[in-house]
């Protein structure tokens, strides 16, 4: 690992943790600020990704598009109240090209229903992120969540 | 993150990991030594915390009180043998005031029953900790476990 | 923690994460290169370990033996296609003797079946590793996975 990586490793880990904490604390709007304005946030099955199939369940091609989606979650979607808990592990910087860091991590999301307290692992998978170090700290150029199971029980209304 | 935080980050992470490992390795008594003598250890539902309701399922207001609780677990409580496995993630220092560091992390606890080997996620949530750097290393001034689900299947006999 | 540990902590964490990522990305062969040629990889129940009982479900006494096992998984074993997701936490260096670092961490493995997408926690436990710092980076002298539950639902075909 180059000195550049060493120096910024903690900041990148913190960026990844911040995304998760914003969602878990129901401050979902805050994640859009962690994405570059022309950044991309995609949630796709490992199955489709391995076969180069384009279909994704979320594919926001800018921070503005992600803000729209979160707003619709707040004011338009009807769903049973629930929240998430992210458990993350294995953050690794696996490459760098022209100032873009390639970052890998694993995630597991537990969903808890407000009504009956039912807890369930709703998704596990790998994040394949591209991170850029800006003057105001690291930001995501791309967040790609590759989920392991093709089964998505219900509409994924809150972003992961 | 200030240089102070950077320098002590690893030690604080280690404190959090040490608490979990002591419980998982059935050396539960050791956690009381990680709490300041007048420290506080509380396990409360996210639901109650969000509404400023006081009820908690554990609320030890000193290390001595926590030691008492652990002793009663060892010699008085009758329960089916089981142990825990803690999975922790997302340790972040989110603030500092008068030498007290505000620390956040997520936790997930899997319980395994000794008799039939049944495994189950019994709790997920967020830790909101206050940490003080003492000459003998960081210690908890407060450990607050906010659990996500209001359902606690059975008596929580072993602290989390 | 001595300066030696501090300096190499990130590299050791990365070694542990790399093992998991190689398996999760179906590059299982790569884990044998993280083990010293005369290293040992063992998967054993906590129950047996606590009682000093020798029986383990995997016990490879060299990297070559582990390579054999992986080859048999690729070409001989018949099993329903599935893959793993490792969630790791709590990496701690707990001791050092004659250049061998004693490392602890917790793991949780979720298995996803390719056919129906069924997800399940198949194993949780503690890793008790011995790590040596070689000129080409840290390597495992021993990887010991102690799993919590004596129930192993089916043949553990992919190493954890």
Q: What is the mean pLDDT of chain C?
A: 92
What would the pLDDT profile of B3-39 be if each residue is shown by its tens digit?
Answer: 556 668 899 999 999 999 999 999 999 999 999 999 9
Residue B104 pLDDT level (bands cut at 50, 70, 90)? very high
Inter-chain residue contact A106 with C20, CB threshold 8 Å? yes
Report the distance separating Cα B114 and Cα A34, nearest Å: 44
What pTM does this model have? 0.95
Task: List, in sequence order, every residue forming a beta bridge with B22; answer none if it has no partner.
Answer: none
What number is the ipTM of this complex?
0.93
Residue to mutate among C119, C122, C123, with most A CBs inside 10 A, is: C119
Q: What are phi and psi of B39, to 5 degrees?
A: -75, 170
| Cβ atoms of C113 and C10 closer than 8 Å | no
Report the distance separating Cα A19 and Cα B106, nearest Å: 13
- Residue C17 at interface with chain A, using a CB cutoff of 8 Å: yes
Inter-chain residue contact B126 with A24, CB threshold 8 Å? yes
The percent of residues in chain C predicted with pLDDT above 90, rounded, is: 83
Position B82 pLDDT exceeds 60 = yes
> Within 10 A of B70 (CB to CB), how many other CB atoms are there?
18
Residue B76 pLDDT level (bands cut at 50, 70, 90)? confident
Inter-chain residue contact C85 with A148, CB threshold 8 Å? yes
- Closest approach of B158 to chain C, Cα-based (Å): 16
Residue C110 is predicted with a pLDDT of 97
- Provide the pairing of β-strand A137-147 with C82-97: unpaired
Which of B1, B9, B121 is the closest to A119 by Cβ? B121
Q: What is the mean pLDDT of residues A138-152?
A: 92
What would the pLDDT profile of A58-117 be if each residue is shown by its tens digit?
Answer: 999 999 999 999 999 999 888 889 999 999 999 999 999 999 999 999 999 999 999 899
Residue C5 pLDDT level (bands cut at 50, 70, 90)? low
- Closest approach of A159 to chain B, Cα-based (Å): 18
For chain A, where are the E strands, in sequence order? 35-45, 58-60, 82-97, 100-113, 119-134, 137-147
- Residue C18 at interface with chain A, using a CB cutoff of 8 Å: yes
- Report chain A residues whose CB lies below 8 A from the CB of C7: none
Residue C154 is predicted with a pLDDT of 57
Angle formed at CA B21 by CA B16 and CA B25, multiple of 5 degrees: 160
For the domain made up of C3-147, give the CATH fold.
Answer: Nuclear Transport Factor 2; Chain: A, (3.10.450)
> Within 10 A of C109 (CB to CB), how many other CB atoms are there?
24
- Residue A119 at interface with chain B, using a CB cutoff of 8 Å: yes
Inter-chain residue contact C124 with B121, CB threshold 8 Å? no
Domain limits, chain B: 3-147
Residue A142 is predicted with a pLDDT of 98
Report the distance separating Cα C113 and Cα C158, nearest Å: 13
Using CB atoms, which chains have 3+ pairs under 8 A with B? Answer: A, C
> Within 10 A of B36 (CB to CB), how many other CB atoms are there?
16
């Amino acid at each position: 690992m180059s000195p550049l990586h060493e120096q910024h490793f903690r900041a990148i880990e913190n960026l990844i943790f911040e995304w998760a904490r914003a969602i878990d604390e129901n401050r979902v709007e805050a994640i859009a600020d962690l994405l570059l304005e022309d950044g991309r946030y995609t949630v796709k099955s490992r199955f489709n990704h391995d076969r180069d199939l384009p279909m994704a369940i979320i594919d926001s091609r800018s921070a503005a598009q992600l803000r729209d989606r979160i707003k619709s979650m707040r004011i338009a979607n009807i769903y049973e109240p629930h929240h998430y808990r992210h458990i993350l592990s294995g953050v690794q910087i696996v490459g760098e090209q022209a100032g873009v860091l390639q970052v890998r991590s694993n995630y597991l999301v537990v969903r808890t229903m407000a009504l009956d307290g039912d807890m369930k692992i709703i998704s596990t998978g790998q994040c394949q992120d591209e991170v850029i170090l800006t003057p105001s700290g690291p930001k995501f150029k791309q967040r790609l969540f590759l989920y392991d199971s093709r089964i998505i029980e219900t509409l994924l209304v809150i972003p992961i």
